[in-house]
């Protein structure tokens, strides 16, 4: 099952629903105030109840909706750096433990919403990544139990201001509307092993990243174990699991994003996330 957050093109009300091939089954109109958004649904443990709606007709075609970030108001967004073998080699990373930083919720952008290149940078780089959405409380969990706490998976474009990242890592990752998140979430029951997914990135239809999540140095379960050892994870929290090699900073010549460019991330069993740069 795939779930998305959205609004109707002619309304401001935020909604969520089940993604079908032709559009979305509106869950907001069915569940009402009891579960006003996807994060609340996760907090109530309600995903298993949604199968009852899965065969209902589509309420809104894709042409009638605007996507929102899958989880618009996550309590925590942890990001893992240097987590693919090729990327570690490109950046000469030597630290064994996962490299962590945070993103703030107001840096997130929805599918087909523009990513905003800061005027002060000429090094706006791309990083296609797998996003993990937490579905149940997890504190000091072991790796063998960690995936039980995952609600689902999504695509993420971790657009990065490289020239600021190297002076202050968090600043390079938290400019407004630079973290693409979507288009939807595939529920965890459809991805029993998150380490068997192809992940690709295209810049202006040119393939610039191509790997599989099997290349992660720290797999999803180990990342959850590591983070939950010190920080309790709650439903709706998000973990961004790192980017494969091929980023623009380490190319010869360097390859960065500029207004008018199109960046896309596709992950097997999830879908394709798309943004224009503005």
Residues 159 and 206 in one domain: yes
In 3D space, the residue among 31, 32, 20, 29 whose CA is nearest the CA of residue 57 turns out to be 20
Residues 30 and 135 in one domain: no
As a whole number of angstroms, the distance between CA 239 and CA 248 comes to 23
Neighbours of 63 (CB within 10 A): 7
Where a domain ends, among 68, 85, 102?
A: 68
Q: For residues 137 and 232, is the Cβ–Cβ distance under 8 A? A: yes
> For residue 179, what are the β-bridge partners?
108, 158
pLDDT score for 94: 58
pLDDT score for 88: 61
* Number of domains making up the chain: 2
Q: Following DSSP, what letter does each residue of 62-85 receive, concatenated?
A: GGGEEEE-SSSS-S-EEEEES-BH
CATH number for position 102: 3.90.850.10
- Residue 52, domain extent: 2-68
pLDDT score for 238: 99
The per-residue pLDDT string of the chain (278 residues; one tens digit each, 9 = 90 and over) reads: 999 999 998 888 899 999 999 999 999 999 978 889 999 999 999 999 999 998 999 999 999 999 999 999 999 999 998 898 775 666 665 567 688 999 999 999 999 999 999 999 999 999 999 999 999 999 999 999 999 999 999 999 999 999 886 666 788 889 999 999 999 999 999 999 999 999 999 999 999 999 999 999 999 999 999 999 999 999 999 999 999 999 999 899 999 999 999 999 999 999 999 999 99
As a whole number of angstroms, the distance between CA 144 and CA 32 comes to 36
pLDDT score for 137: 98
In tens, the pLDDT along 193-235 reads 999 999 999 999 999 999 999 999 999 999 999 999 999 999 9
Residues 30 and 141 in one domain: no
Residues 137 and 265 in one domain: yes
Residues 35 and 152 in one domain: no
Residues 34 and 97 in one domain: no
How many CA atoms, within 13 angstroms, populate the side-chain half-sphere of residue 271? Answer: 21
Q: Enter the DSSP assignment of 233.
A: B
Residues 191 and 210 in one domain: yes
Where a domain ends, among 68, 100, 117?
A: 68
Chain-centroid distance, C-alpha 153 = 7
Residues 37 and 130 in one domain: no
The tokens describing 117, both together, are 């290149």
Q: For residues 124 and 160, is the Cβ–Cβ distance under 8 A? A: yes
Residues 43 and 146 in one domain: no
Residues 53 and 108 in one domain: no
pLDDT score for 89: 66
Q: Which residue has the tokens 């998000």?
A: 238
Residues 110 and 62 in one domain: no
Q: For residues 213 and 196, is the Cβ–Cβ distance under 8 A? A: yes
Residues 209 and 113 in one domain: yes
Where a domain ends, among 17, 35, 68?
A: 68
- Enter the pTM of the model: 0.95
């Amino acid at each position: 099952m795939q779930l998305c957050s959205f609004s109707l093109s002619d309304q401001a009300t935020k909604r969520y629903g089940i993604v079908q091939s032709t559009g979305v089954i509106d869950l907001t109109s069915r569940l009402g105030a009891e579960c006003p958004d996807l994060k609340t649904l996760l907090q109530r443990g309600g995903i298993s109840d949604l199968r009852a709606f899965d065969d209902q007709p589509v309420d809104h075609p894709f042409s009638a909706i605007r996507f929102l970030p899958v989880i618009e108001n996550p309590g925590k967004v942890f990001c893992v750096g240097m987590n693919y073998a090729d990327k570690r080699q490109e950046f000469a990373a030597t630290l064994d433990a996962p490299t962590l930083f945070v993103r703030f919720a107001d840096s997130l952008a929805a599918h087909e919403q523009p990513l905003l290149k800061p005027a002060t940078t000429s090094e706006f780089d791309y990083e296609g990544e797998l996003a993990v959405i937490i579905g149940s409380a997890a504190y000091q969990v072991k790796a063998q139990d960690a995936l039980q706490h995952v609600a689902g998976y999504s695509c993420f474009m971790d657009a990065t201001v490289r020239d600021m990242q190297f002076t202050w890592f968090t600043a390079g990752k938290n400019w407004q509307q630079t973290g693409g998140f979507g288009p939807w979430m595939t529920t965890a029951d459809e991805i029993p092993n998150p380490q068997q997914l192809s992940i690709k990135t295209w810049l202006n239809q040119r393939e610039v990243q191509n790997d599989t999540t099997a290349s992660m140095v720290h797999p999803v379960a180990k990342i959850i174990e590591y983070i939950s050892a010190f920080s309790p994870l709650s439903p709706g929290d998000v973990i961004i699991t790192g980017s494969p090699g091929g980023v623009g900073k380490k190319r010869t010549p360097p390859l960065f994003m500029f207004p008018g460019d199109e960046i896309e991330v596709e992950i097997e069993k999830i879908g394709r996330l798309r943004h224009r740069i503005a």
